[in-house]
Structure 1
């Protein structure tokens, strides 16, 4: 079964409606409402809402026993002002669907349409519209929700559109595909002083001057290397914006990336040792915290083989382009309890990059993504 021209037009309209009304991680109540409104007419066998916050899952049952197969899309948008002349551009200042989660949701809705017309022969398909992917909190919250226990999958699949790859071309490999990452925030406290008498205070300037290059120097290798690490300083602030005060406090933010979770533990230890050393040498107090924690995303060999088979059956070209990638993705958490795999669907070589203010999901990917997911479901469940 394939989507009709009418389906594609309606799914495009659905995607653009989501695009006009972006909501940030943890705030996706209206997005979830729109998803539910589109799902209910398709008469799924079961609908769960409020999973891990605003998550929505719908179930299509087969008539014979079999595995549970989950397909995931994301609901949340980004705190970035959209710069676009498109009629469907964001209507919410400072927020935009600039990563394509609106398009991923439209693909999952396309799969729901096909399943509503023909249930799987066995097992069941779960369509998971997940909240809060951008902060790394959503998948963990969904999995921890007791409601998810009733649909816990044997297999889990997802996709992400990928600018830089030819339109409709797929990047796919087994093994690690997305890096582990986490944000490290540091707050240094000293003593402010009059700017004419800086010797009477304890400034954090020296600590920041030492620490920023020391942290970035921890970066090494590429994602082709098991020991790949990348540290990016993302924010620094010191004192008040005034000319009469020598600063007595400062904040520093950095993002840590590694190819695997094991390597992340070692990188965190090294970064914190550098932080503490800088504070001690400059006579400062220091506190830290971790934010936006993403585990690495690893494609299971069996699940990835199923994706390869579906792509080959559909004649969709694929290779290892761009993989593993530096960017993080919280879909990896589903792989802790299921055989999971994620593919990367080309959005066009010259397409605006993800998280850019002029990015917009290519609607031509909706039927392609739907066909891939539908083929996987049929191959597994009949």
Structure 2
């Protein structure tokens, strides 16, 4: 297998495929039609194995090399976001309140390009798995795929993912050994006391004093500082609600949402303990019952030293500019869970210094990145599995 040379026809067809995905976004766990489109595309490239329904709606294709060797997994995401698109593009989302505003449609298309190349030329040894993973945005997809018995025969020795990144020069790659994306989780706090008539608030147990104290106290748990510091942590209050929208009732319950974020999993464990202790102490002081739950749980995504060397060699060979900045990033990526299975590499690919930011309503993946991403993936595979 040589470094990919997609034809103009390939690029035109892949661009049209990406824009069709963009027009029909599906949210986390709902990617049924997207998965169908992906499976149809992969089947046409003749993989040795095509697996559907992984972790719900995930799809994977296996391409076997000529000789035995390591297995390399390349992963992208299927899901879109619950955001109304305002890009004005001719291929903008046709579904109100939903949009591919993180570039997952482009990530899928880079792997679709790899499927074409692998369909034409297998690696000389080992094998390649292309994984189209569901439900990345809520942090549930990677864990579901890894727990699915259907994934067992596909378990890799190496795993790589590329995420586009606005604010970086178009086509520039960020790669570095160590943390690439923060661990995070949504903490849901429910405080329960007792309602009372608003004229006799002393007859009830209001969560108001505890709520008023907790919001700044939780925020203060974040150590802040540079993301490169091992102690980096951040606690962000994202939602708060108390009682009913009525003037005659003193509230008896309240709810607070807090996003906890840390550069490492051990630092996240400490932050969770600190937050839970603070909530329990404040609730007890005001005679409140408390319930705590967690959603959108992401582990740290960290690139292994071996993977960083492989990627750097591959980028140098194809002349692709690279550096460590802006890694690590505050955002989270559930790709980190694959690090327990394989040597893991996570890359950022610049989508333009002035390009709309991820999750902005006017974001649209730059089509120019499709052949660039495919070339990078192919070069990484060559570094591990060799060339003919």
Name the counterpart of 1:359. 363
CA distance, structure 1, for counterparts of residue 82 and residue 280 of structure 2:
32
CA distance, structure 1, for counterparts of residue 151 and residue 226 of structure 2:
36
Unpaired segments ≥5 residues, structure 1: none
For residue 194 of structure 1, report the CA deviation from its aligned partner.
1.8
| Matching of residue 293 in structure 1 with residue 297 in structure 2 | yes
Unpaired segments ≥5 residues, structure 2: none
For residue 73 of structure 1, report the CA deviation from its aligned partner.
0.4
| Matching of residue 128 in structure 1 with residue 139 in structure 2 | no
Name the counterpart of 2:280. 276
For residue 197 of structure 1, report the CA deviation from its aligned partner.
2.0
**The residue matched to 2:35 in structure 1 has which SS?**
helix
CA distance, structure 2, for counterparts of residue 33 and residue 278 of structure 1:
50
Query: How many correspondences in the alignment?
Result: 382
For residue 294 of structure 1, report the CA deviation from its aligned partner.
0.6
For residue 380 of structure 1, report the CA deviation from its aligned partner.
1.6
Write the mapping of 1:302-317 to structure 2, written as runs, cut at 5 A: 302-317=306-321
Name the counterpart of 1:2. 5
CA distance, structure 2, for counterparts of residue 37 and residue 124 of structure 1:
21
Q: Which of residues 154, 158, 164 in structure 2 aligns to 1:155?
A: 158
| Matching of residue 245 in structure 1 with residue 249 in structure 2 | yes
Name the counterpart of 1:331. 335
For residue 253 of structure 1, report the CA deviation from its aligned partner.
0.5
CA distance, structure 2, for counterparts of residue 196 and residue 17 of structure 1:
59
| Matching of residue 236 in structure 1 with residue 240 in structure 2 | yes
Write the mapping of 1:25-104 to structure 2, written as runs, cut at 5 A: 25-104=28-107
For residues 17-60 of structure 1, give each alpha carbon's deviation from its aligned partner in whole angstroms, at most 9, with x where no partner exists.
11111111111111000101111111111101111111100011
Name the counterpart of 1:13. 16
CA distance, structure 1, for counterparts of residue 166 and residue 246 of structure 2:
43
CA distance, structure 1, for counterparts of residue 12 and residue 283 of structure 2:
59
CA distance, structure 1, for counterparts of residue 281 and residue 211 of structure 2:
12
Q: Which of residues 220, 224, 227 in structure 2 aligns to 1:223?
A: 227
CA distance, structure 2, for counterparts of residue 80 and residue 372 of structure 1:
30
Q: Give the TM-score taking structure 2 as reference length.
A: 0.97
CA distance, structure 2, for counterparts of residue 305 and residue 136 of structure 1:
28
**The residue matched to 2:62 in structure 1 has which SS?**
strand
CA distance, structure 2, for counterparts of residue 218 and residue 64 of structure 1:
53
- Structure 1 runs of 4+ aligned residues shifted over 2 Å read none
Q: Which of residues 330, 339, 352 in structure 2 aligns to 1:348?
A: 352
Q: CA RMSD in A?
A: 0.9
Q: Which of residues 246, 251, 256 in structure 1 aligns to 2:260?
A: 256
For residue 329 of structure 1, report the CA deviation from its aligned partner.
0.4
CA distance, structure 1, for counterparts of residue 167 and residue 303 of structure 2:
21
CA distance, structure 2, for counterparts of residue 251 and residue 222 of structure 1:
31
CA distance, structure 1, for counterparts of residue 88 and residue 383 of structure 2:
41
CA distance, structure 2, for counterparts of residue 379 and residue 228 of structure 1:
34
